[in-house]
Chain A
């Protein structure tokens, strides 16, 4: 059975590119339009990986990560941040919040697929 990924980003075009890339690599992808939507969907269904943007309306990526880590089913689930933010300060905040990795946009489909395979197989 295909592994499931929750892709959280307020940009529709970015989500489309994520869906295209990850589906082509054999994963099932669910989209969420911001952190709050992502958290709601994660509570309803368990995902093998969460891929989230940082700067979003309603709930940002760091808050989403902290909220997910507080849920029993998500303490060990890999969470990758995919964002335009590239400063060491933000990366450290991500690591402290519980992110598994930090990917700076734009993503290359091959490299993204490699990373996803590395963390969830």
Chain B
């Protein structure tokens, strides 16, 4: 079956439009990811500041309670100690939780790099598809080869470094 010249031109125009539309949508996704990263960083900065302030306040309160201790009964002292231990445990849990911003940021950066690479592939596709639309049938095979090569290169450059499944804490290996 032979492809008519008009069909080649139509296919070229279609590919150009699809690639251009894809690039435009990816630009929006990139902008959203950048904004998500900013908001996450802002949130974690405020949470970290709150965490430190809370810890200082709790330490000051604990010192004040200890100063009052001579006048307190044994039950009150035990209650204070239990409350202190509970706060320490909650703080440790928060220390682990606050680290998720680091991993999330890395994943967002990874996604942003892949989108950037995909936009670059689509930009080349637009150029090739324009030549196809001009009637150059040989461009079809070149486009296919370029797409395959660029996709492989992109995969090679993007090794995912965040693959956490255990949420409480990661493995520890001493050599």
B174 touches A13 (CB 8 A): no
A39 to B164, CA, bound (A): 28
Contact-residue bracket for chain B: 20 to 34
Contact B92 A110 (CB under 8 A): yes
Whether A105 contacts B99 by the Cβ 8 Å rule is yes
**Residue B87 lies at the interface, judged by CB distance under 8 Å to chain A:** no
A11-B102, A13-B45, A13-B101 as given contacts; A107 in contact with B174, CB under 8 Å? no
- B142 to nearest A CB, angstroms? 36
A100 on the interface (CB 8 Å rule)?
yes
A45 within 8 A of B: no
Q: Which residues of A contact B105 (CB under 8 A)?
A: 11
- Closest A residue to B162 by beta carbon equals A84
Q: Which of A16-24, A30-38, A67-75 contacts B (4 or more CB under 8 A)?
A: A16-24
The answer to whether B98 touches A17, judged by C-beta atoms less than 8 angstroms apart, is: yes
Instruction: Choose among A16, A84, A119 the residue that contacts B106 (Cβ–Cβ < 8 A).
Output: A84
Question: Is there contact, CB below 8 Å, between A111 and B169?
Answer: yes
B99–A104 CB distance below 8 A: no
Q: Which of B55, B161, B163 has the most CB of A within 10 A?
A: B161
Task: Determine the chain B residues whose CB is within 8 A of the CB of A11 once the complex forms.
Answer: 101-102, 105
Check B102–A14 contact: CB distance below 8 A: yes
B28: Cβ under 8 A from any A Cβ: no
Q: A residues near B, CB below 8 A?
A: 9, 11-14, 16-17, 20-21, 54-55, 83-86, 91, 94-95, 99-111, 115, 118-119
Q: Can you give 5 A-B contacts (C-beta < 8 A)?
A: A17-B98, A84-B102, A99-B175, A105-B170, A106-B97
Beyond the given pairs A83-B161, A104-B164, A110-B92, 12 more chain A to chain B contacts, judged by CB atoms under 8 angstroms and listed by A's residue number, are A11-B101, A11-B105, A13-B98, A20-B52, A84-B164, A102-B173, A105-B170, A106-B97, A106-B99, A107-B169, A108-B92, A111-B172
Enumerate chain B interface residues (CB-CB to A < 8 A): 44-45, 48, 51-52, 55, 92, 95-103, 105-106, 161-164, 167-175
